[in-house]
Amino acid sequence: MERAHKAQKVFETLSQSRVDEVVSRMASAALRESPRLGMLAVEETGYGIPEDKNLKNSFVAKKVAEYIKPLRTMGIISEDAVRRITEIAVPMGVVAAIIPSTNPTSTAIFKCLISLKAGNGVVLSPHPAAARCIGESAKVCYEAALEGGAPEGIIGWMTIPTLDATQELMKHKKVAVILATGGAGLVKAAYSSGKPAYGVGPGNVPAYVDRSADIRKAVRDILTGKTFDHGTLCSSEQSIIVDEPVEAQVFEELQKHHAYFLNDEEVRKLESVAILHNQSLNPQIVGKSPLWIANKAGLVVPENTRVLVVRLTGVGREYPLSCEKLSPILSYYVVRNWREGCERCKQILAYGGMGHTLAIHCEDLEVIRQFGLEKPAFRICVNTPATHGSIGLSTSLAPSMTLGCGTYGNNITTDNITPLHLIQIKRLAWETSEVLPSWISSSVAAGQKDVYGAGAGSSGEPSAGASMSAIVEEYLASRGIKNPAGGMRAASAETVKSAAAGSSQPLKTGTGPELRARQAVEFVCEQDVRTALQARESIYINLKTIITPAARDLGTVHDVFVSV
């Protein structure tokens, strides 16, 4: 952490183009090593499928890299001439990145890319079961970063990870922000560390199939998402909820794609292996093949089985397999209509997936909208695999391996995390609406002389409830001055303006026929000066013209005023 902090202080001084070059080299190296890292992850953890690990690595090294490439994250990132605000990016510092065992290499690459893109350093804390493949992924990114000109130490990682070490890292005084991906206990620890943190909640993703859906595509999408990398992504489908009128078609399609439906006795055997006595998921089945799980449970299933399907009628502790399973085990529900399906989805999300992801397969726009309005999930994937849609692979969501679940999941954001979550923004804000001090209106109301030597009118009181512009209007009227614009901003662009004396610098003067023909205006505010500057016009004034201090300063600097 000390090395990364020192390196980051140098790295944050680099230009956007140099940072982009570093990140580009990292992405290219990760893409080149993607197959090897995917294989290494499966060999070390025993989770998932090498080809799918490779796809996840490639997704990060290619699609995420392409998405973040045009983002401005260093120095001035925007200038709004209308709002008169300039935004400047400021890196957070050093990111403490907690990496899980389920998606170790892809998450490590992802967090390295987005951290450095935002001008930060990063230190990775690997899951102990995946320390080698995570360390190798970090090494690939680090060596490429050095080749691109990044300072030594900008990426670091633990080689002997422990829970105590991870907690020590998260509390380190040089940590600026924590990116925590892992179990609920680890995410809670990140939020309790006293540091800003982005944590992600668990996903217990329901997939609803409406009577209006394209059944063939719906079933194919659900199985595509569920079987991808043996279900290790937290946004993979965990339950399928079927509208009763199309249940027979869904059942037939599932069997065509080699889904195996368990009977009651087989369900009990599976529960005894998949669920521990404390009702939590047995980590031994995570990311394993359906045949491996079936053999472990003493079940005999066809060799070509892609997913184990369990019929359920309820959700909760009495139905253990209604939880998030992170494996090719799929719960199966039948409902009478979309409203009942809507409630079932809510129950499933409440049992360990609040705020995460939901999939709906439907052609009825009104039903889709109702799901969007009512469901406590912040990614609702329509007619696409939830696994791929949620991370932005099959949708236009921001491509990411870290998915916020909002307050429903005890997270700070609902977004897919990007480099923009790892920068701070300072803003230069110029005045767009001039504020007159209260003592102007109060002195006028009291019949006193103000700093301009003016007093109140015959009434001595501004109108009750009057705005500042109305008070100034009344003040001008008390001196017998008519404001040609009917308000604080005295004249239109066509009307030549002027301002009161009082500047420490001499004003332009003249007595020629052209200047004598010009009529001095009676009141000038800062906006009048800006309008004149834009139109390349002068403002004509005399000793009776009233000028606000800001207008006088700006007009004098730009030599706008002409005394007539």
Q: Which of 112, 141, 234, 381 is catalytic?
A: 234
> Which token pair is 100?
């899980």
> Which token pair is 555?
């007009």
Cα angle 253-258-264, degrees, rounded to a multiple of 5:
95
Query: Rounded to whole angstroms, how far apart are CA atoms 41 and 50?
Result: 8
Query: Rounded to whole angstroms, how far apart are CA atoms 461 and 30?
Result: 74
Dihedral sign from CA coordinates of 189, 418, 371, 245: negative
| Helix count and strand count (H, E) for the chain | 20, 20
Q: Identify the DSSP state of 62.
A: I
Q: Which residues lie closer than 8 Å to 53 by C-beta, 6 or more apart?
A: 37, 38, 39, 41, 42, 105, 106, 229
Task: Write out the H or E segment, with its range, that includes residue 35.
Answer: helix 16-45
**Are residues 346 and 355 in contact, defined by beta-carbon separation less than 8 angstroms?**
no
Q: Please report how the helices 16-45 and 104-117 are oriented relative to each other, as an axis angle in degrees rounded to 10.
A: 170
Task: Write out the H or E segment, with its range, that includes residue 180.
Answer: strand 175-180
Task: Write out the H or E segment, with its range, that includes residue 89.
Answer: strand 85-91
Distances (CA, A) of 415 to 117, 323, 472: 18, 24, 47
Distances (CA, A) of 38 to 15, 31, 199, 523: 33, 11, 24, 73
Query: Rounded to whole angstroms, how far apart are CA atoms 289 and 164?
Result: 32
Q: Please report how the helices 50-58 and 16-45 are oriented relative to each other, as an axis angle in degrees rounded to 10.
A: 170
**Are residues 520 and 498 in contact, defined by beta-carbon separation less than 8 angstroms?**
yes
- Phi and psi torsions of 297, nearest 5°: -90, 0
Task: Write out the H or E segment, with its range, that includes residue 442.
Answer: helix 438-445
Q: Which residues lie closer than 8 Å to 144 by C-beta, 6 or more apart?
A: 22, 25, 26, 28, 29, 30
| Number of CB atoms found within 10 A of residue 536's CB | 7
Catalytic: 133? no
Q: Which residues lie closer than 8 Å to 248 by C-beta, 6 or more apart?
A: none
Query: Rounded to whole angstroms, how far apart are CA atoms 481 and 429?
Result: 33
Q: Which residues lie closer than 8 Å to 453 by C-beta, 6 or more apart?
A: none
Residues designated as active site: 234
